[in-house]
């Protein structure tokens, strides 16, 4: 991909396969996901920039590292692993990941938040975008849905499908999250992988200032999870987290895996990095051009 | 219409679930700690591998049910209606209804006939909420047999559904042969002077009221609206046109429940005077079910008196709805 294509506000047709790869192999994918997030949001004129940019590396590893088994051309395939975005407002990063995996046409990303789009402001299952397993957006609910899915797979259908779920860290203030985690360990769901995007930011400010949820690691451990803390922008470390999940499932540990990914909101775009003000707003045209320029060197 | 005995509608729910479990291997049940009260214990004993105890966590149970439904299961979650219709309202709205997840909720201990437990447990508002949710089916069975049939029917339809049932024994008057079709109100007794449109335990009271009215030469049509949503517009509109006066009766707030649905329907299709029998914008309280039904004005007597008022308003050509406080009590 040449620099002009990378800097363009237009979407390109490049897609990436889902396979085991070396840590450095994720950088071009995560960067293209970030570029698409910028392209989507500047067109939409509203939406969330910070969380999607900050979690792009997690999504690159999860969707493109062979951890989730899926068929881009058939996202209804019965044997697929499922991902639930409990933090529904981070939809752009999921939409960009699915587009870059080839699940739907990349140019359709231009319709984010537009009338009749399959890319609703928060994921809407009724619009049938391939790869959207459930509607989400009211925080705390997605993780319970994911637990229900993991129960169906492990306890009823007795297969080896995996369920991944990402929550934010501010989302942990929703009490029902802990009901869900309690039940995940109660039912010994080692096929369940819970990722916390721990960027320490929410709309009103830093998470401990709005309502302290720390210590997160000890809380998750005491609720019965196997917790692994990773640097959320370090691909080798992220791989270590997802590998641990696969081992837990293969070994039948009976424990859900909790990956606490330390991230920075807005990471990859210097003027957004670690600024909670970017939680819920899109870039202006000038800011988008500047962001794409910064993201074009990779 | 004959009285066949007394039995709680929750027994019908419990027995219906067992039938569903036998017929369909993908029916699963989630427990919310009070499985003996809401009769899911019958399913638990018979199909332990398809029963999951979620504990006292209605939000989680509702949403786990959505996850199971999105995996091809037919999950039932039952608790007291106060907690599995309203505490989990957001989960019902988004994870169940918006997702069109095939989740079935059983809301027990509905209405003031719960009795001694008091106002916290006497849910009187959930019909109003549930009937506003897109995709939701809302059922209020009138007796044991109907509750059993309704439970089986909701398990065998596709889409989110809620059934409301009660704790105390109520008169049984339908039989296994009585027709039951979701969304189709049952005209129990024909008549053209006034229509008594009721749900749940108040259907029997409406039957009693019609018998008293008959003594005065008034022929009342009695309609059992067991499915609040989808609403049977045709049957209610026909009743409005042919009777010209309506009384609604339900063990629920007079606002926005069955009475609200009837008012919406007739205001659009055939405006006629309506009187509303229900709990009048108040909370319940402790007491024996029978004394509470009297205290809150949920007996045949209020239906009878309201029928006379509705007919009088019709005959005087009055229009509009009287203030609730103006409804006379039967003396």
ipTM of this complex prediction, to 2 decimal places: 0.96
* Residue from A83, A141, A183 whose CB has the most chain B CBs within 10 Å, to mutate: A141
**Cα→Cα distances A54→A51, B115, B153, Å:** 5, 54, 48
| Residues 6 or more apart whose Cβ sits within 8 Å of residue A40 | A47, A92, A95, A96, A109, A110, A112, A119
pLDDT of residue B327: 52
| pLDDT over threshold 80, residue B322 | no
Q: How many residues does chain A have?
A: 298
- DSSP strand E in A239-285: where? 257-262
pLDDT in tens, B227-249: 999 999 999 999 999 999 999 99
> A265 with A279: CB under 8 angstroms?
yes
Q: CA nearest A197: which of A264, A255, A105?
A: A264
pLDDT in tens, B31-45: 999 999 999 999 999
> B205 with B300: CB under 8 angstroms?
yes
Is the CB of residue B27 less than 8 Å away from at least one CB of chain A?
Answer: no
Is the CB of residue B330 less than 8 Å away from at least one CB of chain A?
Answer: no
Q: Which of A133, A134, A147 sits opposite B64 (nearest CB)?
A: A147
pLDDT in tens, B62-94: 999 999 999 999 999 999 999 999 999 999 999
User: What's the whole-number mean pLDDT along residues A163-177?
Assistant: 98
pLDDT in tens, A261-276: 999 999 999 999 999 9
Is the CB of residue A13 less than 8 Å away from at least one CB of chain B?
Answer: no
Instruction: Let me know if the fold of B6-171 is the same as that of B186-313.
Output: yes
pLDDT in tens, B54-63: 999 999 999 9
What is the DSSP secondary structure assignment for residue A212, as one 8-state letter? -
| pLDDT over threshold 50, residue B331 | no
Q: Which of B57, B59, B73 sits opposite A152 (nearest CB)?
A: B73
How far does the CA of residue B22 sit from the closest CA of chain A (Å)? 16
pTM as predicted: 0.95
How far does the CA of residue A249 sit from the closest CA of chain B (Å)? 20
Is the CB of residue B56 less than 8 Å away from at least one CB of chain A?
Answer: no
> B64 with A181: CB under 8 angstroms?
no
User: What's the whole-number mean pLDDT along residues A89-95?
Assistant: 98
Is the CB of residue B97 less than 8 Å away from at least one CB of chain A?
Answer: no
How far does the CA of residue A162 sit from the closest CA of chain B (Å)? 12
Q: Chain-centre distance of CA B224, in angstroms?
A: 10
pLDDT of residue A103: 98
**B186-313 CATH:** 3.40.50.920
pLDDT of residue B323: 47
pLDDT in tens, A41-67: 999 999 999 999 999 999 999 999 999
Nearest CA in chain A to B50: A156
Name every chain B residue with its beta carbon within 8 A of the beta carbon of A151: 52, 64, 67-68
* Residue-averaged pLDDT of chain B: 95
Please give the tally of structural domains in chain A: 1
Is the CB of residue B72 less than 8 Å away from at least one CB of chain A?
Answer: yes
| pLDDT over threshold 60, residue B100 | yes
| pLDDT over threshold 50, residue A214 | yes
Domain membership of residue A27 as a residue range: 3-297
User: What's the whole-number mean pLDDT along residues B180-191?
Assistant: 98
Q: Could you tell me the pLDDT band of residue A183, with boundaries at 50, 70 and 90? A: very high
pLDDT in tens, B293-320: 999 999 999 999 999 999 999 998 755 5
Consecutive H or E run containing A210: helix A207-211
Catalytic residues of B, which ones?
58
Q: Which of B55, B64, B94 sits opposite A148 (nearest CB)?
A: B64
> A285 with A41: CB under 8 angstroms?
no
- A residues 113-152 lying closer than 8 A (beta carbon) to B: 124-126, 133-138, 140-141, 144-152
> A89 with A137: CB under 8 angstroms?
yes
Q: CA nearest A259: which of A231, A233, A234, A279?
A: A231
User: What's the whole-number mean pLDDT along residues B279-305?
Assistant: 97
pLDDT of residue B324: 46
Q: Could you tell me the pLDDT band of residue B105, with boundaries at 50, 70 and 90? A: very high
How far does the CA of residue A152 sit from the closest CA of chain B (Å)? 6
* Residue from B47, B53, B63 whose CB has the most chain A CBs within 10 Å, to mutate: B63
CATH number for the domain harbouring residue A139: 3.40.50.970
How far does the CA of residue A185 sit from the closest CA of chain B (Å)? 12
Is the CB of residue B91 less than 8 Å away from at least one CB of chain A?
Answer: yes
| pLDDT over threshold 90, residue B1 | no
pLDDT of residue B316: 86
User: Cis ω on the peptide bond leading into residue B132 (within 30° of 0)?
Assistant: no
Q: Which of B28, B64, B90 sits opposite A138 (nearest CB)?
A: B90
Question: For chain B, which residues make up each domain, given as ranges?
Answer: 6-171, 186-313
Structure tokens at A60: 């690159």
> A59 with A261: CB under 8 angstroms?
no
Instruction: State the CATH class of domain B6-171.
Output: alpha beta
- How many whole angstroms separate alpha carbon A168 and alpha carbon A185? 20
Is A141 within 8 Å of B94 when comparing Cβ atoms?
A: yes
- How many whole angstroms separate alpha carbon A249 and alpha carbon A268? 32
Name every chain A residue with its beta carbon within 8 A of the beta carbon of B73: 152, 156
* Residue-averaged pLDDT of chain A: 97
Name every chain A residue with its beta carbon within 8 A of the beta carbon of B74: none
β-bridge partners, A194: A165, A258
**Of A1 and B39, the one with more pLDDT:** B39
Name every chain B residue with its beta carbon within 8 A of the beta carbon of A179: 57, 59-60
What is the DSSP secondary structure assignment for residue A82, as one 8-state letter? E
Q: Which of B28, B64, B93 sits opposite A144 (nearest CB)?
A: B64
What is the full DSSP assignment across B102-144? --EEEEESBSGGG-TT-GGG-B-SHHHHHTTSTT-EEE--SSH
Q: CA nearest A265: which of A175, A154, A170?
A: A170
Is B57 within 8 Å of A179 when comparing Cβ atoms?
A: yes
pLDDT of residue B329: 53
3-state secondary structure at position B71? coil
- How many whole angstroms separate alpha carbon B54 and alpha carbon A158? 20
Region of residue A74 (left: phi > 0; alpha: psi -120 to 50; beta: else): beta
């Amino acid at each position: 991909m040449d620099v002009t294509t990378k800097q363009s506000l237009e979407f390109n047709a490049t897609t990436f396969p889902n396979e085991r790869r070396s840590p450095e192999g994720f950088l071009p994918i995560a960067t293209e996901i970030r570029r698409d997030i910028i392209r989507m949001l500047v067109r939409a004129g509203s939406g969330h920039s910070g969380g999607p940019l900050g979690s792009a590396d997690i999504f690159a590893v999860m969707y493109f590292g062979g951890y989730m088994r899926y068929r881009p051309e058939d996202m209804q395939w019965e044997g697929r692993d499922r991902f639930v975005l409990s933090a529904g407002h981070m939809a752009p990063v999921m939409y960009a990941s699915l587009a870059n995996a080839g699940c739907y046409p990349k140019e359709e990303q231009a319709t984010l938040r537009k009338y009749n789009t399959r890319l609703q402001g928060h994921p809407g299952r009724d619009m049938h975008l391939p790869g959207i397993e459930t509607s989400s957006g009211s925080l705390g609910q997605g993780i319970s849905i994911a637990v229900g899915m993991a129960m169906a797979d492990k306890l009823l259908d007795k297969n080896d499908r995996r369920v991944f779920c990402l929550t934010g860290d501010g989302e942990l203030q929703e009490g029902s999250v802990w009901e869900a985690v309690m039940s995940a360990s109660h039912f010994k769901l080692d096929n369940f992988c819970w990722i916390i995007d721990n960027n320490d930011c929410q709309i009103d400010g830093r998470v401990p200032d709005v309502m302290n949820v720390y210590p997160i690691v000890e809380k998750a451990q005491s609720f019965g999870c196997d917790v692994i803390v990773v640097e959320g922008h370090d691909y080798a470390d992220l791989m270590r987290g997802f590998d641990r999940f696969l081992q837990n499932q293969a070994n039948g540990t009976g424990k859900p895996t909790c990956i606490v990914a330390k991230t920075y909101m807005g990471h990859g775009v210097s003027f957004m990095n670690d600024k909670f003000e970017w939680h819920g707003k899109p870039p202006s045209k000038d800011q988008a051009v500047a962001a794409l320029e910064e993201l074009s060197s990779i | 219409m004959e009285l066949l005995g007394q039995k709680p509608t929750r027994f019908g729910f419990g027995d219906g679930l067992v039938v569903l479990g036998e017929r369909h291997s993908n029916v699963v049940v989630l427990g919310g700690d009070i499985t003996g009260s809401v009769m899911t214990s019958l399913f638990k004993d018979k199909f332990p591998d398809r029963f999951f105890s979620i504990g006292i966590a209605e939000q989680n149970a509702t949403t786990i049910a959505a996850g199971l439904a999105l995996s091809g299961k037919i999950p039932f979650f039952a608790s007291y209606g106060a907690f599995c219709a309203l505490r989990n309202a957001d989960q019902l709205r988004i994870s169940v209804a918006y997702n069109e997840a095939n989740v079935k909720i059983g809301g027990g201990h509905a209405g003031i006939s719960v009795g001694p437990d008091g106002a916290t447990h006497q849910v009187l508002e959930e019909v109003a909420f549930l009937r506003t949710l897109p995709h939701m089916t809302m059922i209020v069975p009138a007796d044991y047999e109907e509750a059993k049939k309704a439970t089986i029917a909701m398990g065998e339809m596709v889409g989110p559904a809620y059934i409301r049932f009660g704790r105390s024994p109520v008169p049984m008057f339908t039989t296994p042969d009585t027709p039951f079709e979701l969304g189709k109100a049952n005209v129990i007794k024909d008549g053209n002077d006034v229509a008594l449109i009721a749900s749940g335990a108040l259907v029997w009271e409406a039957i009693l009221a019609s018998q008293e009215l008959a003594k005065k030469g008034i022929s009342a049509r009695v309609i059992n609206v067991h499915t609040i949503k989808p609403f049977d517009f045709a049957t209610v509109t026909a009743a409005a046109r042919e009777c010209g006066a309506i009384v609604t009766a339900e063990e629920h707030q007079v606002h926005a429940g069955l009475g609200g649905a009837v008012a919406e329907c007739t205001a659009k299709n055939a405006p006629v005077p309506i009187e509303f029998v229900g709990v009048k914008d108040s909370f319940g309280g402790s007491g024996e079910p029978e004394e509470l039904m009297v205290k809150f004005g949920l007996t045949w007597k209020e239906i009878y008196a309201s029928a006379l008022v509705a007919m009088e308003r019709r005959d005087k050509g009055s229009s509009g709805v009287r203030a609730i406080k103006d409804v006379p009590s039967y003396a």
